[in-house]
Structure 1
Amino acid sequence: MNNSAFSFQTLTPELIFNSLATIGINVDSGLTALNSYENRVYQFSDENRTRYVVKYYRPHRWNRSQIIEEHQFTQQLSQADISVIAPLIINNSSVHEYQGYLFALFPSVGARQYETDNLEQFDSVATMLGRIHQIGAKQPFEHRPTIGLQEYLYQPQEILLSNAIIPNKIQTDLNIILRDLIKTVEQHWHNDWQPIRLHADCHPGNILWRDKAIMVDFDDARNGPAIQDIWMLLNGDHHQQQIQLTSFIELYEEFFLFDNNQLKLIEPLRAMRIVHHLAWIIQRWQDPAFPRAFPWLTDIDFWQQQLKQFNQQIEAIKAPALKLISIM
């Protein structure tokens, strides 16, 4: 597929209407674009006033087998009465194709945004995530990757150091500090953990609330350590995070046993996410949506702050890891 398709420039309303018609869905409203940079996601109503969400997957990111694995995982969770938004099965398939675009249809669910300072909601997420991991541990993904240094550090390093977007004045310092960060991660990373199927992008923005927590957007799902789905839900200073973590794990372990050895991976995983995220933006720069959304990426002030963050993260990795504490 050519670059214009990679950037979704060929994904016109007419193409969307026609693609939905091929699976028996006739759009009877306008298309409301929902927040998504990696894919294109739209809400609409059909002729029966049923609301749906349709997702068009970015070409060349996941293949059909990898998308099907994600869908099968969410369907298993839904069948276990876990609150996730699973795709609809139409014509015996959850993945459809039209003019080179793979797409899926989902029910539209009304809900509020998850509140990070709400204890009831926090406890609900802990219980839900324990149940998700209980099922995720039954078998690994076969076609999706496993979280590791190659995807999250080495490949992003190549992207960051071989592009024309980052200001020249910062390149030398970036090379040195990024190399130090990667070396520090290598020294603290270990593979002594059970790989399970994860959400893998479990930040508060991917959680909704409607009487109970609802997990959405499994697009980044892959194998990895359980802690990957937990650390992004913690906030505050070191002590506050330890209190939150202890409360979280107590509820989580009602369904899935947590390996305390994974606590050492939190700061390496944070570093990996930071580096991977920056490379992801640069890699997608040809998509017009990215320069509009991230205009600061070409500013030298941003990169100077980023270098400071890298140095701070090096120190965070070297510092004592979070631990479970007594909160009685």
Structure 2
Amino acid sequence: MHAYSDLSHDLVMDAIESLGLLCDARVMALNSYENRVFQVGIEDSEPLIAKFYRPNRWTNDSILEEHAFLSALKAEDIPVIAPLSINDKTLFHFGGFRFALFPRRGGHAPELSNDDDLELIGRWMARLHNIGQTEAFSHRPVIRGSDDIRESAEAVLRSGHLPDDYHEAYQSIIRDICAHTDQVSVSDYSSIRLHGDMHTGNLLLRDEDLYLVDFDDCNQGPAMQDIWMLLSGSREEHRQQIMVIAEGYSMFRRFPAEELPLIETLCTRRIVRHAAWLSQRWEDPAFPVAFPWFASHRYWSEHLLALREQLSALQEEPLTLPVF
């Protein structure tokens, strides 16, 4: 029995109606894997987004910290989508599930090749980080460097999904990677509350409005964690993109140029953690459907190649920019 075996559309509607709302029977599943997210029609009102949290992933306190962070950002006019409060509560329980409701917002992913879009994101990110530094999370994860990489690699090895003939090569490349990431300690840099997963799929642009969405992975760590995920292409393209982001960012907050040496460590961390995530969630029926290539030798061959490329990147001099 997987985590969402009992989460039917009827249960979704019953959960929402337990809060005094009336559903119109229109329930549409949205693209989400870690949690389950639905657009639900409401009688005589706009549809709502219902997010059902994966059981046993977060504690109630950690979810409420996510909600409190969103509410603090919204109070400062940061363009986020905060959970709805009903009877002074944002986290609800029904049928063995925890869920929250959000207003619906539409839009499309920004073009990161467009300097105007990239600068706009930089401005809003700086304002988000200004709020993020005002206090610290108590119940959310803290970003580590090599420790996160080693922990994720161990999860991959324990999962049984890595083909036996790749074990030795995988362990060897992880050792070599950590020998480099050990030299750059994430804990040596300022730690603030972050979005944590600032890829283009979590950015919605509509006309001139930009929304920062899906704070499910919000965490504590260096500002560069949110910044580096906006980079793509070659090293020279990274340098140009960083300059554009910094131009917008520095309008509201000093750009953390001293954190640029963290980029490749944080990138490597994400690559290893993604493989571990797929390994740990494979029993969920949604994952084999969405990621059918994960069970193939080809996936692991390409994963090892990506890790070797990251090892090369870790051996290069980090990007440098003037301090803004």
Q: So what's the TM-score if we normalise by structure 1?
A: 0.94
Structure 1 residue matching 2:24: 3-state secondary structure: coil
User: Are 1:65 and 2:53 an aligned pair?
Assistant: no
Q: Give the Å deviation of 1:151.
A: 6.3
Q: Give the Å deviation of 1:310.
A: 0.9
Q: Give the Å deviation of 1:325.
A: 5.7
For 2:275 and 2:175, the matched residues in 1 are separated by: 15
Q: Give the Å deviation of 1:287.
A: 0.5
The residue number in structure 1 matching 2:123 is: 127
Alignment partner for residue 180 of structure 1, among 169, 176, 181? 176
Q: Give the Å deviation of 1:42.
A: 0.4
- Map 1:159-308 onto structure 2 (within 5 A): 159-210=155-206, 211-308=208-305
Assess if the C-alpha contact under 8 Å between 2:129 and 2:193 holds in 1.
yes
For 1:154 and 1:162, the matched residues in 2 are separated by: 12
Assess if the C-alpha contact under 8 Å between 1:65 and 1:143 holds in 2.
yes
For 2:117 and 2:209, the matched residues in 1 are separated by: 7
Q: Give the Å deviation of 1:154.
A: 2.4
Alignment partner for residue 154 of structure 1, among 132, 146, 150? 150
The residue number in structure 2 matching 1:50 is: 46
Which residue identity does 1:296 align to in structure 2?
Answer: W
Which residue identity does 2:148 align to in structure 1?
Answer: Y
Assess if the C-alpha contact under 8 Å between 1:124 and 1:212 holds in 2.
no
For 1:108 and 1:151, the matched residues in 2 are separated by: 38
Q: Deviations over 1:152-181 (max 9, x none)?
A: 212212111122222222122112222222
Q: CA RMSD in A?
A: 1.5
Which residue identity does 1:199 align to in structure 2?
Answer: H
For 1:163 and 1:236, the matched residues in 2 are separated by: 32
List runs of 5+ in structure 2 lacking aligned partners: none
Q: Deviations over 1:234-282 (max 9, x none)?
A: 1221112111111211221222223322100000000000001100110
Which residue identity does 2:230 align to in structure 1?
Answer: L
Which residue identity does 2:209 align to in structure 1?
Answer: K
Alignment partner for residue 11 of structure 2, among 9, 15, 32? 15
For 1:133 and 1:246, the matched residues in 2 are separated by: 18
The residue number in structure 1 matching 2:141 is: 145
Assess if the C-alpha contact under 8 Å between 1:74 and 1:86 holds in 2.
yes
User: Are 1:114 and 2:110 an aligned pair?
Assistant: yes
Structure 2 residue matching 1:324: 3-state secondary structure: coil
For 1:84 and 1:183, the matched residues in 2 are separated by: 38
For 2:49 and 2:133, the matched residues in 1 are separated by: 29
How many residues end up aligned between the 2 structures? 322
For 2:277 and 2:154, the matched residues in 1 are separated by: 12
Which residue identity does 1:185 align to in structure 2?
Answer: T
Which residue identity does 1:216 align to in structure 2?
Answer: V
Structure 2 residue matching 1:103: 3-state secondary structure: strand
For 1:64 and 1:201, the matched residues in 2 are separated by: 20
**Inter-CA distance 71–150: structure 2 relative to 1 (3 Å threshold):** farther
List runs of 5+ in structure 1 lacking aligned partners: none
For 1:153 and 1:248, the matched residues in 2 are separated by: 27
Deviates further, 15-24 or 292-301: 292-301
For 2:245 and 2:125, the matched residues in 1 are separated by: 10
Structure 2 residue matching 1:233: 3-state secondary structure: coil
For 1:164 and 1:190, the matched residues in 2 are separated by: 30
For 1:222 and 1:148, the matched residues in 2 are separated by: 11
Which residue identity does 2:34 align to in structure 1?
Answer: E
The residue number in structure 2 matching 1:100 is: 96
Q: Deviations over 1:125-159 (max 9, x none)?
A: 11100000000000011111210147621221211
Q: Deviations over 1:181-219 (max 9, x none)?
A: 222222233422111000000011100012122100000
Which residue identity does 1:131 align to in structure 2?
Answer: R
Assess if the C-alpha contact under 8 Å between 2:145 and 2:266 holds in 1.
no
Deviates further, 138-147 or 245-254: 245-254
Identical amino acids, percent of aligned pairs: 38
Which residue identity does 2:299 align to in structure 1?
Answer: F
Deviates further, 187-196 or 263-272: 187-196
Q: Give the Å deviation of 1:291.
A: 1.4
Alignment partner for residue 317 of structure 1, among 306, 314, 317? 314
Structure 2 residue matching 1:43: 3-state secondary structure: strand
For 1:52 and 1:245, the matched residues in 2 are separated by: 36
For 2:226 and 2:123, the matched residues in 1 are separated by: 13
